[in-house]
Chains A and B, each alone.
Chain A
Amino acid sequence: MKRRDFLKTTAPFATLPVLLNGLPIHALGSPDTMNVLSKAFVNTDHVMVLIQMNGGNDGLNTVIPTDQYSNLSKARSNVMIPLAKALVMDGVDGTSLHPAMTGMRNLFNDEKLSIVQSVGYPNPNFSHFRSTDIWHTASDSDEALHSGWVGRYLSHEFPNYPMGFPNSDMPDPLVLQIGSVVSTVCQGVSVNMGMAISDPSAYYQLVTGNYTPSPKTNAGKELDYIRQVAGQSNEYGQAVKTAGEKGNNKSTKYPTAGENSLADQLKIVAQLISGGLKTRIYVVNINGFDTHASQVSATGGTETGNHANLLSNLSNAIDAFQDDIELLGLKDRVLGMTYSEFGRRIMSNFSLGTDHGAAAPMFLFGTSVKPGILGDNPTIADTVAVNDNVPMQYDFRSVYASVLKDWFCLENTEVDSVMLKTHQTLPLLKDTCNTNSSTRNELRKSGDAYVMNYPNPFSHSTTIRFESTGGHILLQVFNPQGQIIDTLVDSEVPVGEHSVAFTANNLAPGTYFYRYQNGEIQQTKPMILVN
């Protein structure tokens, strides 16, 4: 499966200045032209569909930690889903899905859904806009990156895009956004790799060529950009239209057009994949998760209302899409993944809603996922303060890195180069790249304790004992808001049992969390500081 192809761009050097519809060469920076001809890329027919849930999804009412029901009910009684209504999943105790998510529950039972618990990042940012940027660029909380992780992946594979594109090896858009706005996630190192379409059949020929050379000014820069888009619209618009005409949909599960925007978008995606488009990544959106108020119905039961409608749309859309993909014979080629800029806080507010929070679950779906739940339920304390958050167990960048390695089949060093630093990969996907990624199914759910502390509660200091399976160990302490208080271990540690002391200097009494990370084994546990 995994092989590298050389781009068969045979354009001789002399013709390069007019490669893209006569676009002058300086428009695209100063490319290393030899690189166009010699760059190897991974040949894969794998497709990823990214579903952005805009607004910050309330993870605790999506994947409900029913083993924490009593404490959770104290903190959010007015939005709490009745235990009896929550959807039980086959073989799972202590974790249920929101009652509106029957489609995704069925996917789980059919072993086509993977749930990753408590995904976030250290020192969470509670601004929609900043946190969205962090998820899109895969930056640290305090770091400003200008490129998106998908854009960097595609820049890595196709470094001189759009120079020499489209070509016989990559005749189609690299990433398609369904809609009219291209996300920052598609921003490459120098240009945006994304193309937006709202209707595959709406191809409109634009005037290109015969350009007046653009000046080296801000106005000239924008002129180059618009001309580039015009060229892409013509080149790729025809390819998309052709794929749309060749492709079709087979599932009868899609809701009526206009009722569920996400389902409408995913239907287009399935149509285009079945039409033979070689596009690797599709980006779709579902809006409205910023449920500060009226998250649940005031009169119809907390299992109904805005959040229920959102999750119902999400679940129905994913279920219909997966059904379609299977009927179209594409099941081995397509992986789906959801994300949202943050979860919501543990404690609800008085407007039947929840405010901006931190970690929340992610979903991956398709027949290539390792089905099940990765990670433990968050531990909800007996007393929750207004700004207490779900502590992170997994870094979202570990999820991205896993997809790059195990779905897009990059080498570890390449993953690091795209992600700009090393992030541990997680056992999320079946072995689709013929690599020897280890599997640790036994670790997928809670049970094995790789880390614990004693005494707990503690008054000034406590000892954290952990087991190393070899390799790099990261042991961090977070406060309830998700900020890093201390990093106790960040180094290679030999196989065996080890311990380290944690001393609470000038910390207020309360619940703190320590997070242990040893490769793909990542656990987060609470400890209580008392006076």
Chain B
Amino acid sequence: MIETAQQTARTLAGIDAYTGTWGYKEVIHLLRRTMFGAVKTDIDYFLNKNMLDSVDELLDPSSFTPAPPVNNYNSGRLTDPDIALGDTWVNGPSNAGLNNARMNSLRSWWTGRMIHQDRSVLEKMTLFWHNHFATEMAVYRDPIFGYRYQQLLRANSLGDFKKFVKLITLDPAMLVYLNGEKNSKRAADENYARELQELFTLGKGEGSKYTETDVQQAARVLTGYRINRTTYEGYFNPNLHDVDDKTFSSFYGGKTITGKSGADGEKELDELLDMIFDKEEVSKFICRKLYRWFVYYEIDAAAETNVIEPLAAIFRNNQYQIKPVLEALLKSEHFYDVVNQGAKIKSPVDYSVGLMRQNVVDFPDENNLVEQYYMWTIVSQVCALQQQNIGDPPSVAGWQAYYQYPQFQEIWINTDTLPKRNQISDVMMLAGVSRSGQKIIIDPIAVAEMFSKPDDAATLVQDLINYYYTLDVSTDQKEYMKSFLLSGQSASYWKDAWDDYQADKTNNTLKTIVNTRLQGLLKYLMNLAEFQLS
């Protein structure tokens, strides 16, 4: 038997700045990859700018610190003795009995940050780093650690990667998750030391040749870190630190990190990171992960040479600042190459959050914060149903779709998850989700009204195809789509129905006529395979 792989066209384009057309397709491509779904108002906004300014704006979030999650859980059943409804719990005090409620609050709030994101790459990068420096709430089980962990991700998402690695090493959620807080001179626990190299910095590519000895020596360097549960910060306890010398393999040039006693023991971590970051492979590994996140899962020889290597050089030349790498990638002719458009399968978060955003679904506002959080929770739960539970990835390697040969992103779609996706869009289209007088539902008329000629069936169908899909569909299929609006009549039938409704928006009979027809069309559009691509 022979291993086979289907060959399709690839591009030789590199990271020279893209100078081609700046049109609808390019804008939508940039927005789909840097945000969760491309929304009509954002598309129009960036169509009025040029590519360079658009990328600059997306890389310049207005704030890295959104207002924190609040108590949404006070009810007859559960009462927080310290924090009032609507006030934030992130500064403590801790309360073990409220851990579940607060973790739910955090996950809900996080989903809310994505649904209501501003025009920036911030939330997509926060999720990227969550997938990279993966931790599981179900393991560390502390909502305040959870909040601090993801604020760390957000605050450093575009900054200094080397500093980021150090901060994550000392992060309480990570110290619990990979047992750093239990790593002791008496018998080192290797868990963090291994993943620091295998998953966080060097990877397992050709250029990464660290050995088991290196794992064990790094584990010894990392002995002595503990958590202060009052300040929620990691700290170094010299008494638990292994003060003997640590000698590494030839991959690291046989380097010895001299054992240090007392407070100086903490300096060994900097030496360890210096030693790791001396390997060029770190820059390549991170650029490959960014590439898989933003462009496509497959990195062929041309992409490695023309994209990964020059990006990695930019990364190193900028002292491991993340933003210049993203800037070069998102402005590159490679990124905009037509073969890279529409070839990503939407992740569950892309699918679900994008579904809400593209269809301008109205969420309850802060005056209804209990229901607001509830509706955000619904969205996070449908993501979890599709196997992407934010806050709880399946393992420290993150979600399999970003690393597992040979399936990669196809892992998201199978006979269990594809029917679920269809059910989700159908429910959001037809019934919505209601509680306590609040409701989230797709309003197909509001969607149609975003476009310039909703009264013209052919134009509306084409506009929706362009909005939801990357690939166009056949003339036959467009005719079929139009038939949802025309119900066997001529095009003027739809125009009349639309115009009648526009002339008298309070008339429920007229509204129902256009609403049911648009529901059928939108539901069908979102049920086709084309809608799963991004």
Partners in one complex: yes
Partner of A349, one of B189, B296, B340, B480: B189
Cβ of A213 under 8 Å from chain B = yes
A387 within 8 A of B: yes
Cβ of A226 and Cβ of B418 under 8 Å apart?
yes
Judge whether A491 is part of the interface by a CB distance below 8 angstroms: no
Smallest CB gap from A184: residue in B:
B404
Chain B binding surface, main DSSP class = loop
* Chain B residues closer than 8 Å to A195, beta-carbon distance: 414-415
Q: With a 10 A CB-CB cut-off, give which of B9, B403, B418, B527 has the most chain A CB atoms.
A: B418
**Docked-complex contact B395 and A226, CB < 8 angstroms:** no
Measured in the bound complex, the distance between the Cα atoms of B416 and A222 in whole Å is 17
For chain B residues 321-371, which have a beta carbon within 8 Å of chain A?
Answer: 338-345
Residues of A within 8 A of B406 (CB): 146-147, 187
Residues 351-380 of A contacting B (Cβ, < 8 Å): 351, 353, 355-356
- CB–CB B3/A181 < 8 A: no
Task: Determine the distance from Cα of A213 to Cα of B475 in the docked complex, in whole angstroms.
Answer: 11
A257 interface residue per 8 A CB criterion? no
- Is B419 part of the binding interface, using a Cβ–Cβ cutoff of 8 Å? yes
A233 to B342, CA, bound (A): 23
For residue A114, CB closer than 8 A to chain B, the reply is no
A355 engages B395 (CB within 8 Å):
no
Q: How far is the CA of A515 from the CA of B405 in the complex (A)?
A: 32
User: Please, how many residues of chain A have a CB less than 8 angstroms from a CB on the other chain?
Assistant: 75
Do the beta carbons of A181 and B387 come within 8 Å of each other?
A: yes
Tell me if A206 and B8 are in contact (CB < 8 A): no
The interface bits of chain A over 328-360 (1 if a CB of B lies within 8 angstroms of the residue's CB, else 0) are 000000000000000000011111010110000
Residues of chain A lying within 8 A (CB to CB) of residue B198: 127, 129
B397 close to A (CB within 8 Å): yes
- With contacts A207-B527, A237-B419 known, is A229 near B414, CB below 8 A? yes
**Is B179's CB under 8 angstroms from A353's CB?**
yes
Residues in A with CB closer than 8 Å to B416 are 179-180, 196-198
B391 to chain A, nearest CB (A): 16
Query: What residues of A have a CB within 8 angstroms of the CB of B473 in the complex?
Result: 212
**B497 at the binding interface (Cβ < 8 Å):** no
Taking the complex as formed, is A386 at the interface, i.e. its CB lies under 8 A from any CB of chain B? yes
Pick the contact of A386: B6, B216, B410, B477 (CB < 8 A): B216
Chain A residue with the shortest CB-CB distance to B9? A217
Contact A204–B423 (Cβ < 8 Å): yes
User: For residues 181 through 235 of chain B, which have their beta carbon under 8 Å from a beta carbon of chain A?
Assistant: 182-184, 186-191, 194, 198, 204, 212-213, 215-216
Q: Is there contact, CB below 8 Å, between A218 and B343? A: yes
- Residues in B neighbouring A353, C-beta threshold 8 A: 179, 182, 189
Total interface residues on B, CB under 8 Å, equals: 77
With A180-B386, A184-B407, A206-B419 known to touch, is A189 a contact of B179 (CB < 8 Å)? no
The answer to the question of A225 belonging to the interface, with a C-beta cut-off of 8 Å to chain B, is yes
Q: Is the CB of A182 within 8 A of B411?
A: yes
Contact B191 A292 (CB under 8 A): yes
Q: Which residues of B contact A192 (CB under 8 A)?
A: 407, 410
- A386 to B406 alpha-carbon distance, docked (Å): 35
B419 and A127 form a contact (CB under 8 A): no
CA distance A229 to B409 in the complex (A): 14
Chain B, residues 389-424, CB within 8 Å of chain A (1/0): the string is 000001111001001111101110111111110110
Determine if A196 and B417 form an interchain contact, defined as CB atoms under 8 angstroms apart. Answer: yes
B residues near A129, Cβ cutoff 8 Å: 198, 204, 397, 403
Interface hits, A265-296 → B, CB 8 Å: 290, 292-293
Residues of A within 8 A of B9 (CB): 216-218
Cβ contacts B461-480/A at 8 Å (1 or 0 each): 00000000011111011001
The answer to whether B417 and A351 have CB atoms under 8 Å apart is: no
Question: Would A187 and B413 count as touching, CB distance under 8 A?
Answer: no
What residues of chain B lie closer than 8 Å to A450, measured between beta carbons?
A: none
User: In the complex, which residues of chain B have a beta carbon less than 8 angstroms from the beta carbon of A218?
Assistant: 8-9, 296, 298, 339-340, 343
CB-based contact A206/B422 at 8 Å: yes
Residues of chain A within 8 A (CB-CB) of B189 are 292-293, 349-351, 353, 355
* CB nearest to A292 among chain B residues: B191
* B529 lies within 8 A of chain A by Cβ: yes
How many Å lie between the Cα of A204 and that of B418 in the bound state?
9
Instruction: Let me know if B500 is at the binding interface, CB within 8 A.
Output: no
Q: Which residues of B contact A256 (CB under 8 A)?
A: none
Binding site for A on B (CB under 8 A): 1-6, 8-9, 178-179, 182-184, 186-191, 194, 198, 204, 212-213, 215-216, 296, 298, 338-345, 385-387, 394-397, 400, 403-407, 409-411, 413-420, 422-423, 470-474, 476-477, 480, 524, 527-530, 532-533
A-B pairs, 9 with minimum CB distance: A351-B182, A218-B343, A204-B419, A226-B529, A350-B187, A196-B416, A293-B179, A292-B191, A219-B342
Q: A181-B387, A212-B474, A227-B529 are in contact. List 10 more A-B contacts (CB 8 A).
A: A146-B405, A184-B404, A192-B407, A206-B527, A211-B477, A212-B471, A212-B473, A226-B532, A230-B529, A293-B182
